[in-house]
């Protein structure tokens, strides 16, 4: 355990928060000084691109590539927005990161803004993260005091202002265009794409939206280099470390920084210290509530984007939620669908009404009123809803349903045949 | 251009098209619910999903996806059918299927699609909502249990109308559309939302349970109210106009209407309509035969010799106006005029002096592409609401910069980033001069080909932005900003509305506006325009046909004065009610009293009550002919219903008069159009078959000025009086006609005096208190309406209502000094 390189969690101590002195003591703001004194924005963008850093917010889009869409050199107002609206069940890593070491995000925002030549940045933070927002505001004030934020940073001629904006707090605000609407004070519906935010985002101006963990990685890439960063991963195509938020039926449900590509089995056994109550592993969500289930047979799968896609799931946010063998997977899926159906913004039909109907079907099974026709209907909805909605929410919501049907169809049939939930006496 | 294949058909289309639009252009059917031509792409309902070969693995929303080169699209397959059917099933889960009592039945998109996709059973179960109906207003019923959340009402109210009544609230399955704080709808009631609703969630209340859509005969006509010239499609049953149907295919208004157009039609069905000719016998108006009435009128005219005057309204068709002109010839009089004779006269004279034309130089749709817009008078939206909606779209779609020269705030001031150049009453000219001053001083003027520049420059010296700002109580920087925007814009528009309540300085205003249009190059530049918008449906036609005093003839005001003094013996009023709507009531009263008076109207108006002969006329819904709107668009009216009783069209009445006078008259309006076209400048080459569904704009999109003459005009001085009354139009009404219509009356039924909160507090007035305004001429009184749009010391009252007798104190001045007294 001790050999695992710690970047994001290197200053993390139980119950403590590191501010500017502690952050500097371990090399904080040296990458920023290096970037401003030695690197051009173009070099920075190239560096991030060659580091293979992929977005840590769930979709996993390569950050450097995303940045190439951004018109960094065009005149006029442009914005950098950090998505800290972390609200997916089983995902809490950004909150942990900010509780431990908020300056990482601040430094990351400044150097990213420099790379993208945006003079205003916003951190859009979940309403429930009151403490984190308070720490961020303090960190921003300290950075300003130190001359890292404001006019003519380190004599570079580059100006940057950074604001923390509290979210009104709904899951849909994590969708980047809904977030932009929310930031503008509008109802957070997702926006039509194209135009993409890089062309027309916040207040109609070019905007890049990146996740907290993504941005926090940038200073480390600057100090360690792209090759070092890529080599941190255990898979050849992966790069860097990842914050894994463990939850569910494990003996240890904490957040760990582990290399990308670590085996599922190692996460469960070594870090989660095995399934609780001496029970057996039944399934897990590998990357938050919107990723299809993995089962016992996947223990050797490397937790990385490509390898998880190959087995029909997704890396997502690396929030690993484990279910023991006494869990009813129908009930577990119903629980998730209740969340997603409630959090649908109500814009498009498949999500607004379709998810409600999936919830209704799962309720039928769970209460023993389901029929084989209902099972066919549920299968049908994978095609009717997934891929046909306005944004990715419904598609994500159908992830666990897809997993349920792939791995646990028999459990549904048991519910139908018994006319009750077999896990309830 | 982009090439693509849809259902095997090779298609070339604009690169800005979506798949849906490309399909539609080529008559390939794709079902939609949330798509609307005039709204931004939305993509919420998901019934328009199609397959695109290049985007395999998921279905693609055709209404939001732009076409790309080589795209191969399939609009129907088993999978598409299944997904669409499921979407419909989803929508029906919580929809109250109360089609038998729903007014939308027969033209409901959800009903039609359910039928088409044979959604016979719903496999899903869910709660049906039981939300209360919103019937808080008399125009629009909202039944959210029928809503499919396509968002069209939210979008049209924001994107087109610029009001923003609606928004989505809640989330997930509970999502619904609501008004502010989920209270009853309270807005300007244009009904755009009703016209867009694909289901029965929003319905026009006056039409409830009146007819099934297929029972209605649809007749395209042109709205009889203002100079905007919107197409109204009459829904006719039992010889009554039952409703106005949605039509975005015909005319210039893109299916948009205001409250007057959509809900103000009911006066045509009114049981107060005149149905028989009336002749005064023993001092009392009595019903008479047409023969008697015509003979009495003609005898009266003959007795007057050449001492006859004709004052026409501007709601007559071009063909009718042509006969009015013929009648003046037959009577041997040059005393011919229309609509008050002051405002339009000044405006057109001013324009003639500077640009050599007497009409707007460009068309309405061009304004949507304008980068900078100047509206002169805050009431512009109130007089021409649908043109105001085009301005809103220019702002929202193209980020146009709007400035308003205004003595009070209005709807336009509320549009995004609108700059209101507020001034004390009566000082529009000063602000216009200041704009010209900035443009000249900063070297922004496009001086090529302009005459009179030096004289103008010299005259503008006293009108620096700072000096004017101080005088008018405005902001010099704002004036400069506006001037720079207008001068720098690629496409720009200057808009000036005119009408009976705006008679002061009208010639000078037109000149000052034309000076600005010349200095900025707006006049005559393709894509830009100076818009002069008449108050009435055919104001422009009346100017085009020269319903004006000829030779030594008298104008309206002179005629009234002459009739009062006994110099004129007979007056013929065609569709005008000067006693109510003209300035200077005592003058009008005397004129009508002393002369032999013939009045032609659809109601027994206060003027008609004083007549010797009254002819019952027909409304716009009962006649054929053409109107020319404020952008020079000639459009055809069609007969929707028969006139009540013995009422006749103005055309038919004029025919009878001409015949009685022994003169020939054209047999039909079509024949009259031929004759009038031959002798009307701009119309020479126009024949009726050129006046198609989109009308025909004489002079084209860009009317080249014949002159480029700058003419200095002097500004005015503000009144010193503490309280000043402004006269104008209210949004819900047009002229005096709309006060006979249920719709506008349901919104505003009686006259009112509007004032700001500060004045209200000082005078201890609250809404509905009775307020008397005294002047040396007389006094008026009405209920108080407290609002936020009036500056301190400034009152406003609309001029439409007979009972106010506003013209007792209004004689055409820009602002009336008044003394307020609480009653």
Supply the CATH number for residue B738's domain. 2.40.40.20
Residue B625 and residue B553 in one domain? yes
The shortest C-alpha distance from A75 to chain B (Å) reads 19
Q: Give A353's contacts in chain B (Cβ within 8 Å).
A: 90-91, 93-94, 126, 173
| Distance, CA of A313 to chain centre | 15
Q: Which two tokens stand for residue A305?
A: 């984007």
Q: Up-side HSE of residue B540: CA atoms within 13 Å toward CB?
A: 29
Starting at the earlier edge strand, list the strands of the sheet with A120-125.
A161-166, A120-125, A79-84, A207-211
Any idea what the CATH number is for the domain that residue B72 is in?
3.10.20.740
Q: Give A341's contacts in chain B (Cβ within 8 Å).
A: 172-173
Report residue B405's pLDDT band, with 50, 70 and 90 as the boundaries. Answer: very high
Of the candidates B82, B90, B123, the beta carbon closest to that of A353 is on: B90
Q: Up-side HSE of residue B253: CA atoms within 13 Å toward CB?
A: 32
B173·A189 Cβ contact <8 A: no
SS (H, E, C) B429-494: HHHHHHHHHHHHHCCCCCCCCCECHHHHHHHHHHHCHHHHHHHHCCCHHHHHHHHHHHHHCCCEEE
- Of B381, B391, B382, B396, give the one whose Cα is nearest residue B155: B396
Question: What confidence tens digit (pLDDT) does each residue in A18-47 have?
Answer: 999 999 999 999 999 999 999 999 999 999
B94·A353 Cβ contact <8 A: yes
Residue B296 and residue B368 in one domain? no
Domain boundary residue, one of B240, B269, B298: B269
Q: Is residue B101 part of a domain?
A: no
Question: What confidence tens digit (pLDDT) does each residue in B627-667 have?
Answer: 999 999 999 999 999 999 999 999 999 999 999 999 999 99
Report residue B697's pLDDT band, with 50, 70 and 90 as the boundaries. Answer: very high
Q: What pLDDT does residue B59 have?
A: 94
Q: Give A388's contacts in chain B (Cβ within 8 Å).
A: 46, 49, 58-59, 83
Residue A360 sits at the vertex; the CA angle it makes with A317 and A291, to the nearest 5 degrees, is 15
Q: Is residue B50 part of a domain?
A: yes
Contact B582, B811 (CB under 8 A): no
Question: Best mutation site among A203, A347, A393 for testing chain B: the one with the most B CBs within 10 Å?
Answer: A347
B44·A390 Cβ contact <8 A: yes
The shortest C-alpha distance from B92 to chain A (Å) reads 10
Report residue B550's pLDDT band, with 50, 70 and 90 as the boundaries. Answer: confident
* Helix, strand, coil tally for chain B in percent (to 5): 35, 20, 45
Class of residue B448 by CB neighbours under 10 A (exposed 0-12, middle 13-18, buried 19+):
exposed
Residues 121-180 of B with CB under 8 A from A: 123-126, 148-149, 151, 167-168, 170-175
Q: Give A360's contacts in chain B (Cβ within 8 Å).
A: 124-126
Partners of residue B375 on adjacent β-strands:
B404, B495
Q: Up-side HSE of residue B120: CA atoms within 13 Å toward CB?
A: 1
Residue B513 and residue B369 in one domain? yes
- How far lies B272's CA from each of B281, B576, B616, B653, in Å? 22, 17, 11, 20
Q: Residue B471 pLDDT more than 90?
A: yes
Provide the mean pLDDT of chain B.
95
Shortest CA distance from A389: residue in chain B: B46
Report residue B312's pLDDT band, with 50, 70 and 90 as the boundaries. Answer: very high
ipTM above 0.95, yes or no: no
Q: Up-side HSE of residue B376: CA atoms within 13 Å toward CB?
A: 32
Report residue A1's pLDDT band, with 50, 70 and 90 as the boundaries. Answer: very low
In B602-751 the beta strands, taken as DSSP E runs, fall at: 613-616, 625-628, 633-637, 696-697, 724-728
Any idea what the CATH number is for the domain that residue B581 is in?
3.40.50.740
Q: Give B47's contacts in chain A (Cβ within 8 Å).
A: 349
High-pLDDT (> 90) share of chain B, % = 95
Q: Give A357's contacts in chain B (Cβ within 8 Å).
A: 90, 93, 124, 126
Structural domain that includes position B180: 127-269
Rounded mean pLDDT, B396-405: 95
Question: What confidence tens digit (pLDDT) does each residue in B491-502 have?
Answer: 999 999 999 888
Q: What pLDDT does residue B349 have?
A: 93
Residue B515 and residue B546 in one domain? no
Q: Is residue B312 part of a domain?
A: yes
Measured distance CA(B418)–CA(A176) in Å, rounded: 30
Q: Give A309's contacts in chain B (Cβ within 8 Å).
A: none
Q: Give B148's contacts in chain A (Cβ within 8 Å).
A: 349
A343·B44 Cβ contact <8 A: no
Question: What confidence tens digit (pLDDT) does each residue in B9-57 have?
Answer: 999 999 999 999 999 999 999 999 999 999 999 999 999 999 999 998 8
- Of A3, A7, A6, give the one whose Cα is nearest residue A217: A7
Residue B768 gets the label, from left (phi > 0), alpha (psi -120 to 50) or beta, of left
Residue B678 and residue B735 in one domain? no
B49 close to A (CB below 8 A) = yes
Q: Which helix (H) or strand (E) holds A179?
A: helix A176-183
Measured distance CA(B350)–CA(B341) in Å, rounded: 14
Shortest CA distance from B59: residue in chain A: A388
Partners of residue B50 on adjacent β-strands:
B60
B59·A388 Cβ contact <8 A: yes
Domain boundary residue, one of B53, B76, B99: B76
Measured distance CA(B396)–CA(A383) in Å, rounded: 37
Q: Which helix (H) or strand (E) holds B670?
A: helix B669-679
- Spatial neighbors of B358 by CB under 8 A, at least 6 apart, are B348, B351, B352, B543, B544
Residue B778 gets the label, from left (phi > 0), alpha (psi -120 to 50) or beta, of left
Of the candidates B83, B151, B174, the beta carbon closest to that of A384 is on: B83
Phi, psi of A294 (to 5 degrees): -110, 160
Any idea what the CATH number is for the domain that residue B521 is in?
3.40.228.10
B66·A344 Cβ contact <8 A: no
Measured distance CA(A343)–CA(A334) in Å, rounded: 14
High-pLDDT (> 70) share of chain A, % = 100
A357·B90 Cβ contact <8 A: yes
Residue B408 and residue B522 in one domain? yes
Q: Is residue B718 part of a domain?
A: no
Contact B60, B178 (CB under 8 A): no
Measured distance CA(B525)–CA(B31) in Å, rounded: 41
Report residue B371's pLDDT band, with 50, 70 and 90 as the boundaries. Answer: very high
Whether the predicted model's global pTM rises above the 0.90 cut:
yes
A352·B66 Cβ contact <8 A: no
Residue B472 and residue B529 in one domain? yes
Classified as helix, coil or strand, A80 is strand
Q: Is residue B602 part of a domain?
A: yes
Question: What confidence tens digit (pLDDT) does each residue in A164-183 have?
Answer: 999 988 999 999 999 999 99
- Residue carrying structure tokens 């609501």: B178
Q: Which helix (H) or strand (E) holds B682?
A: none
Interface residues of A toward B, Cβ cutoff 8 Å, are 170, 172, 187, 189, 192, 194, 341-350, 352-357, 360, 373, 377, 380-381, 383-384, 386-390
Shortest CA distance from A344: residue in chain B: B172
Strand pairing class (B770-774; B779-787):
antiparallel
Q: Give B126's contacts in chain A (Cβ within 8 Å).
A: 353, 356-357, 360
Domain boundary residue, one of B56, B76, B96: B76
- Of B575, B583, B587, B579, give the one whose Cα is nearest residue B803: B579
Q: Is residue B120 part of a domain?
A: no
Any idea what the CATH number is for the domain that residue B190 is in?
3.30.70.20
Rounded mean pLDDT, B351-356: 96
Partners of residue B773 on adjacent β-strands:
B780, B820
Contact B537, B314 (CB under 8 A): yes
B8 close to A (CB below 8 A) = no
Rounded mean pLDDT, A89-105: 97
Residue B322 and residue B385 in one domain? no
The shortest C-alpha distance from A381 to chain B (Å) reads 9
Residue B311 and residue B363 in one domain? no
In B377-431 the beta strands, taken as DSSP E runs, fall at: 401-406, 419-422
The shortest C-alpha distance from B110 to chain A (Å) reads 13
Chain A and chain B share a number of CB contacts under 8 A equal to 104
Question: What confidence tens digit (pLDDT) does each residue in A244-270 have?
Answer: 999 999 999 999 999 999 999 999 999
Q: Which helix (H) or strand (E) holds B184?
A: none
Long-range contacts of A40-47 (CB under 8 A, 24+ apart): A41/A72, A41/A114, A41/A115, A41/A116, A41/A117, A44/A111, A44/A114, A44/A115, A44/A222, A45/A72, A45/A115, A45/A116, A47/A221, A47/A222, A47/A225, A47/A226
The shortest C-alpha distance from B803 to chain A (Å) reads 46
Q: Give A382's contacts in chain B (Cβ within 8 Å).
A: none
- Of B245, B183, B181, give the one whose Cα is nearest residue B212: B245
Question: Best mutation site among B33, B39, B84, B86 for testing chain A: the one with the most A CBs within 10 Å?
Answer: B86
Phi, psi of B549 (to 5 degrees): -60, 130
Question: What confidence tens digit (pLDDT) does each residue in B117-156 have?
Answer: 999 877 888 878 899 999 999 999 999 999 999 999 999 9
Contact B782, B804 (CB under 8 A): yes
Residue B221 and residue B284 in one domain? no
- How far lies A140's CA from each of A24, B73, B689, in Å? 14, 51, 72
A345·B44 Cβ contact <8 A: no
Residue B297 and residue B408 in one domain? no
Q: Is residue B263 part of a domain?
A: yes
Q: Dihedral (C-alpha) A389, A390, A393, A394: value to the nearest 10 degrees?
A: -10
Residue B554 and residue B501 in one domain? no
Q: Is residue B108 part of a domain?
A: no
Report residue B379's pLDDT band, with 50, 70 and 90 as the boundaries. Answer: confident
B91·A356 Cβ contact <8 A: no
Residues 68-87 of B with CB under 8 A from A: 79, 82-83, 86-87
Q: How many structural domains is chain B composed of? A: 5
């Amino acid at each position: 355990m001790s050999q695992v390189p710690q970047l994001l969690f290197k200053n993390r101590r139980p119950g403590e928060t590191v501010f500017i002195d502690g952050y500097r003591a371990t090399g904080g703001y040296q990458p920023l000084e290096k970037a401003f004194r030695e690197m051009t924005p173009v070099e920075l963008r190239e560096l991030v691109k060659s580091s293979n850093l992929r977005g840590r917010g769930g979709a996993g889009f390569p950050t450097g590539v995303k940045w190439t869409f951004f018109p960094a050199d065009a005149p006029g107002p442009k914005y950098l927005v950090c998505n800290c609206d972390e609200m997916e069940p089983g995902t809490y890593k950004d909150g942990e990161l900010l509780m431990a070491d908020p300056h990482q995000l601040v430094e990351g925002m400044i150097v990213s803004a420099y790379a993208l030549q945006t003079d205003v940045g916003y951190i859009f933070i979940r309403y429930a993260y009151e403490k984190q927002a308070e720490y961020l505001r303090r960190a921003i004030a300290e950075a300003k005091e130190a001359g890292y934020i404001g006019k003519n940073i380190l004599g570079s001629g580059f100006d940057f202002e950074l604001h923390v904006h509290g979210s009104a707090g709904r899951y849909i605000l994590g969708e980047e265009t809904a977030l932009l609407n929310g930031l503008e004070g509008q109802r957070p519906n997702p926006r039509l794409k194209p135009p993409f935010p890089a062309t027309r985002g916040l207040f109609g101006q070019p905007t890049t939206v990146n996740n907290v963990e993504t941005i926090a990685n940038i200073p480390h890439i600057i100090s360690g280099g792209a090759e070092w960063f890529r080599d941190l991963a255990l898979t050849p195509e992966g790069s860097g470390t990842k914050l894994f938020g463990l939850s569910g039926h494990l003996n240890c449900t904490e957040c760990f920084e582990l290399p990308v590509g670590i085996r599922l089995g190692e996460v469960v056994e070594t870090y989660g210290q095995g399934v609780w109550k001496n029970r057996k592993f039944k399934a897990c969500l590998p990357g938050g509530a919107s990723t299809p289930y993995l089962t016992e047979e996947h223990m050797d799968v490397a937790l990385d984007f490509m390898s998880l896609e190959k087995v029909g799931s997704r890396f997502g946010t690396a929030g690993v939620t484990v279910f023991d063998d006494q869990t009813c997977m129908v009930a577990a899926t119903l629980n998730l669908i209740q969340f997603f159906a409630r959090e649908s913004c109500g814009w498009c039909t498949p999500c607004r009404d379709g998810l409600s109907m999936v919830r209704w079907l799962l309720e039928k099974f769970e209460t023993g009123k389901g029929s084989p026709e209902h099972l066919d209907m549920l299968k049908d909805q994978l095609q009717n809803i997934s891929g046909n909605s306005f944004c990715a929410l419904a598609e994500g919501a159908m992830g666990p349903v897809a997993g349920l049907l792939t791995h646990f169809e028999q459990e549904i049939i048991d519910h139908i045949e018994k006319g009750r939930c077999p896990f309830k006496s | 251009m982009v090439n693509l294949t849809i259902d095997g058909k090779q298609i070339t289309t604009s690169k800005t098209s979506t798949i849906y639009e490309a399909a539609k252009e080529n008559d390939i059917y794709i079902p939609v619910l949330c798509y609307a031509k005039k709204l931004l792409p939305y993509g919420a309902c998901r019934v328009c999903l199609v397959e695109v070969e290049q985007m395999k693995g998921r279905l693609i929303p055709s209404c939001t996806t732009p076409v790309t080169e080589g795209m191969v699209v399939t609009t129907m397959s088993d999978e598409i059918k299944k997904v669409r059917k499921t979407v419909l099933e989803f929508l029906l889960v919580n929809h109250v299927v109360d089609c038998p009592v729903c007014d939308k039945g027969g033209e409901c998109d959800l009903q039609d699609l359910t039928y088409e996709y044979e959604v016979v059973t719903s496999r899903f179960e869910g709660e049906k909502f039981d939300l209360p109906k919103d019937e808080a207003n008399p125009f629009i019923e909202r039944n959210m249990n029928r809503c499919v959340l396509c968002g069209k009402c939210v979008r049209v109210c924001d994107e087109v109308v610029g009001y923003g009544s609606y928004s989505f609230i809640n989330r997930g399955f509970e999502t619904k559309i609501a008004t502010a704080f989920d209270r009853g709808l309270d807005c300007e009631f244009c009904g755009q939302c009703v016209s867009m609703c694909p289901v029965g969630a929003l319905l026009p209340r006056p039409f409830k349970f009146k007819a099934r859509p297929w029972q209605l005969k649809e007749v395209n006509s042109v709205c009889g109210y203002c100079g905007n010239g919107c197409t109204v499609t009459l829904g006719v049953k039992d010889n009554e106009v039952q409703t106005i149907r949605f039509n975005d295919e015909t005319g210039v208004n893109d299916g948009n209407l205001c409250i007057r157009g959509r809900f103000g039609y009911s006066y045509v069905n009114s049981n107060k309509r005149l149905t028989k000719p009336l002749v005064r016998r023993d001092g009392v108006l009595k019903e008479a035969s047409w023969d008697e009435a015509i003979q009495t009128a003609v005898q009266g005219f003959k007795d007057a010799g050449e001492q006859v005057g004709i004052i026409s309204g501007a709601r007559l068709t071009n063909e009718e106006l042509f006969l009015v002109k013929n009648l003046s010839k037959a009577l041997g009089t040059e005393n011919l005029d229309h609509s008050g004779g002051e405002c339009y006269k000044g405006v057109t004279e001013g324009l003639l002096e500077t640009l050599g034309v007497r009409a707007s130089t460009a068309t309405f749709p061009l304004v949507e592409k304008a980068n900078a817009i100047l509206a002169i008078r805050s009431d512009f939206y109130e007089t021409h609401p649908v043109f105001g909606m085009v301005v809103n779209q220019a702002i929202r779609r193209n980020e146009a910069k709007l400035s308003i020269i205004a003595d009070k705030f209005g709807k336009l001031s509320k549009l995004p980033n609108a700059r209101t150049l507020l001034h004390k009453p009566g000082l529009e000219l000063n602000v216009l001069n200041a704009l010209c001053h900035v443009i000249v001083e900063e070297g922004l003027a496009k001086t090529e080909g302009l005459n009179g520049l030096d004289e103008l420059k010299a005259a503008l010296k006293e009108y620096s932005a700072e000096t004017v700002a101080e005088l008018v109580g405005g902001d010099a920087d704002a004036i400069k900003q506006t001037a720079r925007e207008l001068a720098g814009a690629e496409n720009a528009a200057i808009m000036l509305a005119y009408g009976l309540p705006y008679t002061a300085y009208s010639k000078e205003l037109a000149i000052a506006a034309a000076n600005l249009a010349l200095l900025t190059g707006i006049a005559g530049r393709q894509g830009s325009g100076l818009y002069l918008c008449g108050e009435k449906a055919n104001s422009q036609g009346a100017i085009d046909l020269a319903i004006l005093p000829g030779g030594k003839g008298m104008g309206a005001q002179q005629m009234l004065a002459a009739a009062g003094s006994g110099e004129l013996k007979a007056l013929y009023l065609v569709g005008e009610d000067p006693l109510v709507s003209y300035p200077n009531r005592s003058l009008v009263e005397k004129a009508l009293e002393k002369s032999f008076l013939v009045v032609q109207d659809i109601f027994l108006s206060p003027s008609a009550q004083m007549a010797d002969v009254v002819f019952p006329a027909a409304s716009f819904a009962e006649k054929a002919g053409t109107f020319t709107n404020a952008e020079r668009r000639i459009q055809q009216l069609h007969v929707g219903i028969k006139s009540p009783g013995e009422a006749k069209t103005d055309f038919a009445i004029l025919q009878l008069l001409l015949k009685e006078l022994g003169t020939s008259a054209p047999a039909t309006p079509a024949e009259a159009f031929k004759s009038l076209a031959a002798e009307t400048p701009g119309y020479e080459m126009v024949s009726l078959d050129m006046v198609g569904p989109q009308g025909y704009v004489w002079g084209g999109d860009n009317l080249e000025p014949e002159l480029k003459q700058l003419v200095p005009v002097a500004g005015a001085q503000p009144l010193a009086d503490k309280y000043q009354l402004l006269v104008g139009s209210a949004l819900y009404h047009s002229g005096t006609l709309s006060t006979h219509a249920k719709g506008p009356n349901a919104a505003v039924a009686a006259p009112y005096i509007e004032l700001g909160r500060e004045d209200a507090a000082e005078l201890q007035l609250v809404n509905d208190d009775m307020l008397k305004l005294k002047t040396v001429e007389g006094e008026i009184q009405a209920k108080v309406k407290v609002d936020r749009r009036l500056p301190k010391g400034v009152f406003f009252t609309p001029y439409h209502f007979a009972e106010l007798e506003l013209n007792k104190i209004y004689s055409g001045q820009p602002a009336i000094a008044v003394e307020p007294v609480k009653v």
